[in-house]
C-alpha cells in the first residue's frame, strides 16, 4: 500500500465519519476513494460497507429512548427484514459481473445523489401517499434493504421516505430506526462479503478507525455548520463523483 493511498483512505474515511454523524452520505467519499486506490469496484463497495457500518450503531444508541418505546414485535420484524435484505442485496452484488457493476456505478451514484438532494421533497411526497398495509409495507421494506445491501448510497433517505409512507411522524424514532436498520443490514452484508473473501481488510481496518474518529468530530462540526450546508457539500461531491465515473465508463 502506497503512502498516498493511506492518506487518501484515512482522509476520506475521517470526513465520511463526520458526514455520517451529521446527515449521512459518507459512502460518497469512501467508495470512490477505494476505487481510486486501485480496489476493484465490487470489492470497493464491499470494503466501503465494512468501513462505515460501525457508526450506525452509535447513531442508533442516541435514539435508544424512542426505540425502546417502539413495539417489540414490529421492531424485530424490521430487524429481520433488514438482515434478510442485507444478505440478499450482498449476494446480488456478488453475482453481478464486474463489468456490469462498473457500468451501473455512475447511475447508482447519480440516483443516490438525487435522493440526497431532494430527500425532503421525497419524504413530503411519501407522507401524502401513506400506506400502512402490512404485506405491502413489508415487501417495500425488504426491497429497500436489498438496495442497501447491494449499494449503500442514499439508503438513509430511502428509509426515511419509507417510514413516512408507513405513516410515521416522529423524526427521532424514524432516525433511530434508520440507524439500527442500516447497522443490521450492513452487518449482514459485511458477514456475507467476509465469507466471500472480497473485503480488503488492510484498507477496511484503517478506514473503520478513521471513520469512528471522524464520527466523534462530527458532533463538534454539527454545532458550527448547519445541516443544509453539509447537504450541499455532499450533493456537490456526489455530482462530481457521478460525472467522474461516467467518464471512466
Q: What is the tens place of the pLDDT at every residue in 99-127?
A: 998 899 889 888 878 877 776 676 666 66
Q: 48: Cβ–Cβ under 8 A, 6 or more apart, which residues?
A: 27, 30, 31, 34, 152, 207
Report how far apart, in Å, the C-alpha atoms of 97 and of each of 28, 197, 217 are.
22, 16, 38
Quickly count: other Cβ atoms within 10 Å of residue 121's Cβ: 10
Q: Which of 14, 6, 2, 4 is nearest to 203 (CA)?
A: 6
Asked if the model's pLDDT at residue 230 lies above 80, the reply is: no
Least confident range from 83-87, 105-109, 150-154: namely 150-154
Domain boundary assignment for the chain: 3-248
- CA nearest to 48, candidates 127, 133, 151, 121: 151
> 70-79: per-residue pLDDT in tens?
999 999 999 9
Q: Among 149, 157, 153, 174, which Cα is nearest to 70's?
A: 174
pTM: 0.81
Of the pLDDT bands very low, low, confident and very high (cuts 50, 70, 90), residue 219 is low
48-57, 68-77, 196-205: range with lowest mean pLDDT: 48-57
Going by the DSSP 8-state scheme, the letter that residue 197 receives in this structure is T
9-22 tens-digit pLDDT: 999 999 888 887 76
pLDDT higher than 60, residue 50: yes
d(CA 60, CA 24): 13
Least Cα distance to 241 among 68, 4, 87, 36 occurs for: 36
Whether pLDDT at 222 is above 70: no
pLDDT-derived band at 28, boundaries 50, 70, 90: confident
Amino acid at each position: 500500500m502506497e503512502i498516498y493511498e493511506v492518506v487518501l483512505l484515512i482522509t476520506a474515511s475521517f470526513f465520511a465519519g463526520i458526514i455520517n454523524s451529521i446527515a449521512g452520505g459518507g459512502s460518497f467519499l469512501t467508495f470512490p476513494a477505494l476505487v481510486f486506490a486501485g480496489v476493484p469496484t465490487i470489492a470497493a463497495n464491499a470494503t466501503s460497507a465494512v468501513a462505515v457500518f460501525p457508526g450506525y450503531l452509535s447513531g442508533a444508541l442516541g435514539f435508544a429512548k424512542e426505540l425502546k418505546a417502539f413495539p417489540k414485535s414490529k421492531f424485530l420484524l424490521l430487524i429481520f427484514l433488514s438482515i434478510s435484505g442485507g444478505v440478499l442485496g450482498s449476494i446480488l452484488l456478488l453475482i453481478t459481473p464486474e463489468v456490469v457493476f462498473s457500468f451501473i456505478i455512475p447511475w447508482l451514484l447519480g440516483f443516490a445523489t438525487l435522493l440526497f438532494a431532494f430527500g425532503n421533497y421525497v419524504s413530503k411526497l411519501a407522507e401524502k401517499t401513506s400506506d400502512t398495509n402490512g404485506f405491502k409495507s413489508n415487501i417495500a421494506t425488504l426491497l429497500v434493504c436489498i438496495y442497501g445491501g447491494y449499494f449503500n448510497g442514499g439508503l438513509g433517505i430511502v428509509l426515511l421516505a419509507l417510514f413516512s409512507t408507513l405513516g410515521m411522524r416522529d423524526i427521532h424514532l424514524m432516525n433511530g430506526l434508520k440507524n439500527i436498520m442500516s447497522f443490521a443490514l450492513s452487518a449482514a452484508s459485511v458477514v456475507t462479503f467476509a465469507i466471500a473473501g472480497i473485503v480488503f481488510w488492510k484498507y477496511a481496518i484503517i478506514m473503520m478507525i478513521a471513520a469512528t474518529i471522524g464520527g466523534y468530530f462530527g458532533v463538534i462540526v454539527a454545532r458550527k455548520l448547519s445541516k443544509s450546508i453539509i447537504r450541499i457539500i455532499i450533493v456537490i461531491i456526489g455530482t462530481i463523483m457521478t460525472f467522474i465515473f461516467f467518464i471512466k465508463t
